[in-house]
Amino acid sequence: MPRSIWKGAISFGLVTIPVKLYSATEEKDISFRQVHPEDGGRIKYKRVCEKCDREIPYAEIAKGYETADGRMAILEKTDFDNLPLSTTKAVEVVQFVEESEVDPTYFAKTYFLEADGPGVKPYVLLRDALVATGRSALVKVALRSRESLALLRVKDNQLLMHTMIWPDEIRDGAFAAPPADVTVSDAEVTMARTFIDALSGEFEPELYKDSYREALEEVVEAKLAGTAPAEETAPAPQDADVVDLVAALRASVEAAKKRREEKGDGSKKSKAG
């Protein structure tokens, strides 16, 4: 069982719900070390003070905030622990909203919330009330030395918390929008919709896998075994300037239908086996 990363309480009006917080996700990327290629030796870094030129142990390093005029405010662990914020030990409900109203761009990280001790019954009360009203709870919470907005929602009979970034942390993406004078024809939209229909279905995340990580693992295994990694022929690059969008989409629809038929046959064979 994973270890909780935070303990506190949800403030649901005058009801207090003691909870533990667990990270809901884990990175499964392949990690590499920086090494000297000639002998495989690891590259190490030292924490050296630029003034006294001494190596400083991690336990003796503090956080410093430098102002524009060069002044330095040095903060220690007690400064962060004693912040005058109610959200350092509590998840404060500030509003109830429709989940669809919150743009996914705001979501940062997902956590599981577990009721702690006597918090089980009020936890169930909040969960069932959110389900009954079709709402999610917008909250404020302080995690890892910063306060965040977050969204509490119900999934699989438990509460999840999605931390969110602040509105002023979202960049203006207007520069990336296509020019307003670029238009497409009705025939092109119709064919695009046909392609979307051909690939539409229920979201089944278990059907997808990290092919890049698998390929990289094969390269690592080949290196360890002293053999040459398998080569795969990359598809020929497509001309970026597609003149006939309808023809290209029609071919895409046919390819999508073929993949679906092959997938259907494969699933039938596996069930039959």
- Asked whether 63 and 54 are in contact (CB, 8 A), the reply is no
User: Picking from 11-20, 119-128, 207-216, which range would have the lowest pLDDT averaged per residue?
Assistant: 207-216
Q: What are the strands, taking DSSP E only, across 134-185? A: 136-143, 146-155, 158-164
What is residue 84's predicted lDDT score, i.e. its pLDDT?
Answer: 62
Instruction: Kindly report, residue by residue over 212-237, the tens digit of the pLDDT.
Output: 888 888 888 888 888 877 776 655 55
pLDDT band at 78 (very low <50, low <70, confident <90, very high): confident
In whole angstroms, give the CA distance from residue 77 to residue 265.
60
**Confidence check: pLDDT of 261 > 90:** no
Spatial distance between the Cα atoms of 146 and 140, rounded to a whole number of angstroms: 11
Domains and CATH numbers, the chain: 6-25+82-169 (2.40.290.10), 178-272 (no CATH)
98, 193, 198 from 124: Cα distances, Å: 20, 43, 41
Q: What's residue 268's pLDDT?
A: 47
Distance (Å, whole) CA 228 – CA 117: 56
Q: What is the pLDDT of residue 151?
A: 96
* Position 269 confidence tier, pLDDT thresholds 50, 70, 90: very low
What number is the average pLDDT over the span 254-265?
76
CA distance 217 to 229: 10
Beta strand pairing call for 107-115 and 146-155? unpaired
H or E element in which residue 194 lies? helix 186-198
Tell me if residue 269 falls in helix, strand or coil. Answer: helix
Q: What is the pLDDT of residues 17-58, one digit of tens each?
A: 999 999 998 888 888 899 999 998 999 989 999 999 999 998
Angle between helices 245-272 and 186-198 (to 10 degrees): 10
